[in-house]
Chain A
Amino acid sequence: MEDTIFWSRLQFAFTITYHYLFPQLTMGLAWIIVYFKWKHLRTGEERFGNAARFWARIFGINFAVGVVTGIPMEFQFGTNWAEFSKFSGNVIGQTLAMEGMFAFFMESAMVGAMVWGEKRLGPRNHFLATVGVALGSWLSGYFILATNAFMQHPVGYSLAADGSLRLASFTDFLLNPWALIMFLHNQCAAVVTGSFVVATVGALYALRGKYAEQASLFLKTGTLVGLIACLLVAFPTGDQQAKMVARHQPVSLAAMEGHFHGGTNVPLNFIGQPNVAEQRIDNRLYMPDALSFLAFGHIHAQVQGLDDFPKDEWPTNIELLYYAFHVMAGLGTLFILLMGIANFQRWRGKLETSRGLLWALMLAFPFPYIATTAGWMTAELGRQPWLIFHILRTGQGVSEVVSGGNVLFTLIGFTGLYFVLGVLYLFLIGREITHGPQIVSANGQLEGSHD
């Protein structure tokens, strides 16, 4: 049993982490493409049309990998977490079914036409299809986050006579305050990823001295959208998310912060290594009173420490949780700084010529992915040892009939497939970026531009 739990957790963690690399770009980039298409429709300027076409090709590859890696996620609820599905299907089945019915049908109908159907659909309907893909991807995000929010902060349920969960209030469940705040936080982070990627490609073209018009457009759009999104990720959405954790999962907050002993005027740790055995942070740099203030609004607030809770309720991997949270928060702060400088240079009219800044923007694209991954690790490790917080422990949710050997078999299969998929993805995206944005020639044919 123990090995089934271990391999099933590892398989879910691996497949979901890998999967989410793609939808975050989908959700962020979709609205940027909508913006380009809208500008093209309004102004008729071909640079917007070309920008939309270029990003739609990248989007198409990204979306395809997102779809094919997403389908296994839905099925793993049943295959690897059968007891959890049986126990809570009455409640979380609602949002999982709604995701398929409302969001996936919408996205899947529109995306092929969005990527390949500009000629078939004509400008207006093609714009509508693009909006449809963007809306569908955000809708899908909400339903899956509402499912996760129930696991973090269960509301709207009751216990049935057979011991399983039953839906008590559909609206309470669907409009879980945790879901609303997490959705805003997560979606802003997806826009950060999208805008960083757009700015990165703009910086690459600017440094290479190619496609000057598109480089400037990508840089301006990417850095402006990026700054707004970076600010929103931190405040108010990130701040509210942290306050929610403080209120409903105080033990997770204590572990995230490496806060072992409860008290008032609690400091905020910036850097340091948690030493769980000795219950302290080594080499720490901190700001006095800041955690009390951030979590509860005043510097004298009492913040519970890990030792205020029984040990069997502590998150199971405190060190990793601590690092995940600090990597996310630290990177988020650096993003604001980078995008702030970029917008300052843009205001001075020097965005396209500041080589140091362009280098930083060009190399920045992996970090939003790292930050979002760390953010999700914070949420999911913080929830441990519970599958549904304070209701079902993780080990109780696993499939009893599936042997550890079977799970390891499929985990190895996924590792191999996803490795090949990753190489393929990087190759194809690299190829699109090298090929560059297309221009429209005099006779209306689409051609590669080789200036």
Chain B
Amino acid sequence: MIEIWYAILSFMLVMFVVLEGFDIGAGLLQYVVGKTEAERRLVIAAIGPLWSWHEVWLVSFGGVLFVAFPTILAVSFAGFYLALFLLLWCLLLRGVAIEVSGLIAEPLWRAAWHVIFVGSNILLAILIGAALGNVVRGVPLGASGKFSLAFFTNFSPGGNVGILDWFTVTCAVFILVTFAAHGATALVLKTEGPVHGRSRRIASFLWKAVVALLAVVTLETWQVRPELFSGMTHKPLAWLGLVGVLGGLLMVFTSGSSKRELRGVIGSSLFIAGLMIAGAASVFPIMLYSTLGPEYSLSAYENAAAGHGLVIALIWWPVALIFAVGYFLFIYRHYAGKVKPSTDTQRPY
């Protein structure tokens, strides 16, 4: 039961990072791939009407964490207090920017919202990267079973750490570049004309940077949590994740021709999903690792909700998932294919 709920949570987080990674990545490249006002509008149209459906994966992840591992939710949300609120504010600003920037056909209005849009996307990528880095590195959990993280302490990834240190900053840069590459790859699929051409050029450059940064992050992880790699050997799901990472990269680097745009997006998603799966499988069953001593780490087994609540949730969760995917398909089939300024940008006046 506990393994199932850990898997469900990992799945929801993977969905969030893959889908939202595209929105964030495409969004932060808005000024790079869009040189005119119309081209920048096209980037927002490519993100499309389903951006908040993507964001709901995070909200629902929070809800499911609440019901399955309430202690983990309580300890981590309170511990990451300031960083979480920064994340929420960025989501808030970005959502408003997407919704209102197109309402008025006035260059100043658009420029202001586009700058807010790009800025909050960059900050979101950094925050998500740093958050993932914190989960891998661990947090200063003591005997009280609680922690509180400042933004930074002395930038050392051991002992009394802050949210940012040289390891999590590397993770943040890695996620920033990965999201940008992911977003550019998807823009290749969703657009045509100059935006398409620029996205293709920037994507091929960014993916090389992703590979270089992946090597750096892997080496640093080896330094910070060496036991993760030795533990991986007897975790088949972690190997599956690694296969996804390599297969995804292979697909991305062989998607150069115009007939293979979809292959690039699948490969890019597979790369991100594979990384997350490998990470989730190798840290299991520890959900919050303590940098102060392994005995203080919070394990999924000891912190799962008790009683028959999880059994009941296991009945309604798949039903809800089928509905959720159904709504997505009902809407998405009307939006498949390349976006066109004539049908997809908001009618301003």
Contact = CB atoms under 8 A, between A and B. Distances in A.
Contact of A406 (B59, B71, B81, B96): B81
A74 B313 contact: no
Of B76, B324, B343, most A-chain CB atoms within 10 Å = B324
A160 B307 contact: yes
Interface string B64-82: 1011101101111111111
Contact of B148 (A67, A168, A402, A428): A402
A184 B71 CA distance: 33
Contacts of B81: 79, 399, 401-402, 406, 410
Contacts of A446: 347
A64 B320 contact: no
A93 B77 contact: no
B99 A61 contact: yes
B312 A94 contact: yes
Contacts of B229: none
A68 B64 CA distance: 20
Contact of A424 (B67, B71, B96): B96
Interface of B: 48-53, 55-56, 59-60, 62-64, 66-68, 70-71, 73-82, 84-85, 88-89, 91-93, 95-96, 99-100, 103-104, 146-148, 305-309, 312-313, 316-317, 320-321, 323-324, 327-328, 330-331, 334-335, 343, 346-347, 349
- Per CB-CB distance, the 10 closest pairs between chain A and chain B, nearest first, are A89-B70, A112-B49, A78-B77, A93-B67, A100-B60, A97-B63, A101-B320, A105-B324, A109-B327, A93-B66
Contacts of A74: 59, 62-63
Given A82-B75, A117-B49, A401 B91 contact: no
A129 B307 CA distance: 38
User: Interface majority SS on B: helix, strand, loop or mixed?
Assistant: helix
A399 B305 CA distance: 19
Nearest to B77: A78
B49 A89 contact: no
B192 to A, nearest CB: 18
A50 interface: no
B334 A170 contact: no
- Taking residues whose C-beta sits less than 8 angstroms from the other chain, chain A's interface range is 35 or more
Contact of B84 (A79, A100, A110, A413): A79
A170 B82 CA distance: 35
User: Interface majority SS on A: helix, strand, loop or mixed?
Assistant: helix
A60 interface: yes
A402 B82 CA distance: 9
Given A111-B49, A410-B85, A428-B100, 20 more contacts: A61-B99, A67-B52, A72-B88, A74-B59, A82-B77, A82-B78, A89-B66, A89-B74, A93-B67, A97-B64, A98-B316, A102-B316, A102-B320, A105-B327, A120-B335, A160-B307, A166-B307, A170-B312, A401-B147, A417-B93
Of A91, A93, A400, A421, most B-chain CB atoms within 10 Å = A93
8 contacts: A68-B95, A82-B75, A105-B328, A109-B330, A112-B51, A112-B52, A117-B49, A417-B92
A105 B73 contact: no
Contacts of A399: 74, 78, 81
B92 to A, nearest CB: 4
Contacts of B331: 109-110, 112-113, 117, 121, 129
Contact of A105 (B66, B91, B99, B323): B323
Interface in A55-88: 60-61, 64-65, 67-69, 71-72, 74-75, 77-80, 82-83, 85-86, 88
A61 B55 CA distance: 18
